[in-house]
A = this chain, B = another copy of it.
Amino acid sequence: MSKRKNIPMPVIRRLPKYRRYLLELSESDTEKISSTELGIKMGLTPSQIRQDFNCFGDFGQQGYGYNVEVLLSTISEILGMKMKYKFIIIGIGNIGQAIAKYTRFEGIGFELKGIFDINPSLIGLKFRNIEVYDVKFIEEFVKEKNIDIACICIDKRGAQQVCDKLVSSGIKAIWNFAPIDLNVPKDVPLENVHLSESILTLGYLLNEKNK
């Protein structure tokens, strides 16, 4: 693993999907897989798979294919899954609670360390043994606990302000569920989950069909 520089975003977004299929192959004790076989499973061309993998180095073997365990382990490492990341949730409404209660994130290296809300009636409640704190403590919490990721699940109104606070406290990445485009410095990765825009896409496609 040595090439990696300026990996195209589409490739990065395919990595978790590769991992998912390789995990399945690993669980069914498949030892090796060729780009052609994997392509059929995943609906990708063999060419694309080889190009993707070669962004990070050559871990295939001519005439053989790819060793499933090696590939899985390599991709997991590329994804940073050998690391643990600390995250907090801001806004423990519908989505915030869903994220808080979802236990699978821990298994892939993301540990929920704190929950924050502005609503006094929620402060003090516990979700999965994590207490809800007043948002006013965010800055000190992020700094002291060295939090990596903030998951923003509040109304769009306060979102930019909270985001600014998080950034100035040294947050390393933002996972945003608020329906707004947040302004963050270039060196703070931002990942949006815009549910309304997602369902609206379906609306468009449905509407198209009925033409």
Q: Which residues of A contact B (CB under 8 A)?
A: 12-13, 15-17, 19-20, 42-43, 78-81, 83, 85, 94-95, 97-99, 101-102, 104-105, 108-110, 148-149, 172-173, 175, 179, 181, 187, 189, 191, 193-209
Contact = CB atoms under 8 A, between A and B. Distances in A.
B187 A209 contact: yes
B16 A79 contact: no
B201 A80 contact: no
5 contacts: A16-B200, A85-B206, A105-B196, A175-B198, A193-B193
A99 B196 CA distance: 10
Would you call the interface of chain A mostly helix, strand, loop, or mixed?
helix
Contacts of A207: 78-80, 83
A95 B193 CA distance: 13
A99 to B, nearest CB: 8
Given A79-B203, A191-B199, 11 more contacts: A12-B201, A94-B101, A104-B196, A109-B203, A110-B199, A110-B203, A149-B202, A172-B209, A175-B202, A189-B202, A191-B201
A93 B171 CA distance: 30
